[in-house]
Structure 1
Amino acid sequence: MAVVGIGADGWAGLPDAARSAVLEADVVVGGERHLGLLPSGCAGRRVPWPSPLRPALRGLLDAHTGRRIVVLASGDPMFYGIGRALTEELGAGALRVLPHPSSVSYACARLGWPVEDTETVTLVGRPTARLAAALHDGRRLLVLSADGATPAAVAALLRDHGFGPSRMRVLEQLGGPDEDCLDGTADTWDRPPGDPLNVIALECRSTPDTVRLGAVPGLPDEAYESDGQLTKRHVRAATLGVLAPAPGELLWDVGGGSGSIAVEWLRTHPSCRALTVERDPVRAGRIARNADRLGVPALRVVTGRAPDALAGLPVPDAVFIGGGLTAPGLLDACWDALPPGGRLVANTVTLESEALLTEWYRRLGGELVRLAVAHAVPVGGFTGWRQAMPVTQWSVRKAPSTFSGDNR
């Protein structure tokens, strides 16, 4: 099967190898827009993608077994394109991919931006909120739009997050005869929906009073909506350091509170995954709002009481327990859920939970530490230290030879 990338320049922009593949095909599968770019001389049967696409993909391909199939895709099929789904379904060896320059390559060429220094965020089939995690002063971003209304939604998000002064350029129909560029700032963006085939170029600039959100764990406490159930900044940074998130890993955040540990786990890398378990529905809703606000809307919020709410959840790479440690069976359930090599970190401020962690530390080892933070505060006309409640933290890694039934 050939997978042919095609751009806004249509048939005229295809090299000879891609044209030959399309002309020789018995079946050409693609979006309505892509199929409409082909000349009448392409005799293969034209089959538009079904919607939703992924569940129907295997059946569609099986229906044309034995025929020469060509799939049309936008630009580079392996860059946020259908190439990924086809590879997962059929294997790389079953495909012959003929890429076209991607919209990112075209955009960088027009803007004079080095591709390797330009971060790309796709909003195709994804919530606009995920862009928030990439907003940093002076950063250049390319946003892949879902449709013609995406630029206005992006401008609104930038204003809401204190990045209204950011320059926005909307590049439409890149590489085609109707290519255009619309220029402005998020603060002043009032254009109606334009061409659905567009890429947004952002030069991020914040207002002076915008809360600075860095790229490492330990965001300011004021970045979160909270009722007081929040792992504070310095303890949070230390906790994420011990949890040690790596790309693609899944975290269970048990006793989510305001969701800060799960949120900052997700912000470390776009491929990180997390779910948080919170028994209070009001707090669960607050966690979801914090996740949206801080650019990680993919955080899964499970409303329920642990350990019962843990049943059936996907296997974690790491577990953080921030509340409810003394609930019967909670530590056992979290430890049992971890695979060999998995990490468990638990924080507490109570003597009862500290005694429990000390017992588990005695059985399984790991590291038991006490984290103490003091803040300078006015004392009359002078300054003194106000000590926050110390946090006892137990962290442990499940060794390959550890079997939970033999170690408790």
Structure 2
Amino acid sequence: MLTVLGTAAILLFTYFAYQASGFEFVLVFWVGIFIGFTLFHARFGFAAVYRQIVETGNTEMLRAHMFMLGIAATLFAPILMFDIGAFGNTPEGALSPVSIGLVIGAFMFGFGMEMGSGLAPASLYQAKGGRTAMLCTLLGFLTGAVLGAYHFGFWNKTLPSGPEISLATDTGFGYLGAWGMQIAIFVLVVAVSYVYKKRKRPPLLPPLPSAVGWKKIIFGSWPLWVGALVLAMLNAAAFILQEEPWKLTAAFTLWGSKLLMNMGVDVSQWEYWIAEERLGALLQPTLTDSVSVLNFGVILGTFLTLTLGGMIRFSKIPVHLALLALAGGLLMGYGATISFGANVGAYFSGIASFSLHAWIWAIMAIIGVYSAYGVGKRLHLVSKQKARNK
């Protein structure tokens, strides 16, 4: 039944996307569907990579991330160099200023990510209660994103803020030089991760459900490198189709702000909408915004894939788990908005776009993860959570 509903929703949104912008938005929407499909089948986590390193020392996902970023940067470079855009679009990379909001927000995001996806719920990655906890995290993220938009001007305008800095066009390296520098960093991280793996000898990632033959594509799990490759290619496709690469937080901020606007709150005066040049998206119908269309596709693609795998399950969870997931989501949403994005827009798309802010964001987010993990150990939350999982 849920699979039928998911399929019907996808067909309906495909029709709405065509009505809004013809085949352009139809293609954007279906790129989003394939992103959702890939995220599930490769079990490709953006939050999990940090948690695995601090909790178990496993660096397998980290190496997959470096591969994904290397492929994405390789694809983004010619797109930016030669202005490769479909439907008359001119691509603009995910560049953002270096500001106090960037530093503080990325730290908050990392702290909330470990809090909402690590200390609180190993259950997010289990069938029992996992989807319920995830809903709490998403609700917190949506609320935090709107609060972050409200305070955006303070963090990024009132407090010191610098310009956008492209490692390709603002440093003299050029795209080829910036690409080579980033590839060297990715290779170095991979090499260090292998040395760390040899010394630490961490446990392997748990085996994932699989299937045989063609069923593996639809019902089974994919190798991490396949997920990394496909995600990089899909992000590049989104970049060509909609002028900008994949961004997730911007969609949540828009949806939450539109909800407030429909309740009579004049959010159009918030500095966020002016600084991010998203005022048009706020005032126009949601389906005329390509960022929203893409992320509707991601959500529906993930939902349909989960239903095919029989993994849409909800159950009652302890109050403290729900509160931790909600609080973690709140920190993530707030931090992501004031720091110009999260794991997708700031980290994935930002690094692929050769933006300096993306590297600063990644460093501060990792510090946030380690800080939250340290707090959890001191409060004995980590050991308690591990005990529950045995």
TM-score range, shorter chain: under 0.3
Question: Would you tell me which structure has more strand in proportion to its own residues?
Answer: 1
Higher relative contact order (CA 8 A, sep 6+): 2
| Larger Rg belongs to | 1
